[in-house]
Amino acid sequence: MNIKKTALYELHKKHNAKFVEFAGYSMPIQYSEGIVKEHNITRNKSGIFDVSHMGQLFIKYSNDITDKLQEILPTDLKNLKINQSKYSFLMKENGGIYDDLIITRMKDKYMIILNAACKQNDLQIIKNKLKDQNLDMNNNLSLVAIQGPESKTILENVVSNVSKLKFMNGENYSFKNNEIFITRSGYTGEDGFEISLPNKVAVSFVEELISKGSTLIGLGARDTLRLEAGLCLYGHDINENTSPVEANLKWAISKNRINDNFIGSHQIKKQIEEGVSKLRVGIKPETRVIARESTKIFDERNNEIGKVTSGTFGPSVNASIAMGYISNSHSKTDTKVYLEVRGKKVPANVCELPFYKKSYVKGEANV
């Protein structure tokens, strides 16, 4: 299989990117600044992320589309306003998650943003559900995120009127006579935007953002940023065998859908009523030791009670941070646990997420 490249590949190269293969794409893991500096640039100023490897699926409205999609997503799509986005899951029969996604109601269609590693499988599931074998991802579009406190001003200099967008809302804009769609959203815990735009203008768009003061950021810093923000990475923190309830993402299931039928709803309802045996929590080691994925978690009596699903060093909190699943009886904040790293037991504490407080902006009125 040939390794795929995004429309921004040559630009990454020009900016001295180090590449890594991710979900079949050659993606920048970091640039010459390095992960920690890129992380801090995003937190303090503004960073640009090429996320064009993610799937962009558009589904035109027809009679029963919303009902059909509600059978596989636990989200209330009927009350979704035009241009509003929601975080949702492609559900599996056992209550597990095939993928996590963002769905937006556009004027004449739904836009669904899918994880790169899952998108082909997701597409097949959605095609089968909608009985539409012609449905396909739009590969003519790139997806760029700009994140961090100065992003609003920088993007406003390139595309007028973006600052009026509210969090988890989108709008059509234009760039060099091309229609682009911008949502106020992101994956860093910072205020920011995600821009879906034609491949042919992707390079000039990103170059303009750079010239206005933003900086290209690689997947390495994207990971430390999202983990500090307590956000899940599919395939690690959530997967086909973790339910949204176990993942502590119950908030993303619309309240009026809990008693409704969707794939896996029986299991979800049961978990909400009877509780779960394991829960995703934040974990803070007492030392700087990093507890990476698969690190075993023990209680004070040396019983294994869970596993780490993501762990790294958080530059903004200046500490080692991790997330993982832990037996429900030990999931309370401040519970003392032990992480087995290189044969030694490292003391740690269950903590609330996020590690780093978000500064999402709800819209111009609240600034």
Partner 1 sequence: MSDTKFSKEHEWITLDGEVGTIGITKHATEMLGDIVFAELPEKGSNVEKDGTAGVVESTKAASDVYTPVSGEVVEINQSIVDDPSKINADPEGGAWFFKLKLKDKSELDTLMNKEEYDKFAKETSA
- Chain residues binding partner 1 by CB under 8 A are 29-30, 34-37, 220, 223-224, 288-290, 292, 312-313, 315, 320, 342
In the complex, minimum distance from the CB of residue 6 to partner 1, in angstroms, rounded to a whole number: 21
Dihedral of the CA atoms 107, 128, 142, 227 (nearest 10)?
100
- DSSP bridge pairs for 95: none
| Nearest-approach distance from CB 295 to partner 1, in angstroms | 11
The answer to whether 137 touches 121, Cβ cutoff 8 Å, is no
Q: Which is nearer to partner 1, 40 or 214 (CB)?
A: 40
Residue with smaller CB distance to partner 1, 225 or 245? 225
H or E element in which residue 310 lies: strand 304-314
Element containing residue 44 per DSSP (H, E): helix 35-44
Q: To the nearest whole angstrom, how small is the minimum distance from the Cβ of residue 85 to partner 1?
A: 30
Query: What is d(CA 173, CA 117) in angstroms, rounded to the nearest whole number?
Result: 29
Closest CA to 147 of 101, 185, 102: 185
Give the residue with the Cβ less far from partner 1, 38 or 246: 38
Residue number, 310 or 335, with CB nearest to partner 1: 310
Q: At what angle do helices 35-44 and 219-228 cross, to 10 degrees?
A: 60
3-state secondary structure 139-178: CCEEEEEEECCCHHHHHHCCCCCHHHCCECEEEEEEECCE
Query: Strands 304-314 and 178-183: what pairing?
Result: unpaired
Nearer to partner 1, 212 or 307 (CB): 307
Closest contact distance (angstroms) between CB of 18 and partner 1 is 9
Shortest CB 119 distance to partner 1, Å: 25
Using the minimum distance from each CB to partner 1, give the nearer residue, 107 or 343. Answer: 343
- Give every CB contact of residue 63 below 8 A, 6+ residues apart in sequence: none
* Cβ 345 to partner 1 shortest distance, Å: 14
Comparing C-alpha atoms, which of 5, 8, 28 is closest to residue 18?
28
Q: Which is nearer to partner 1, 39 or 105 (CB)?
A: 39
Q: How far is the CB of 30 from partner 1 (least distance, A)?
A: 7
DSSP track, 293-308? TT-EEE-TTS-EEEEE
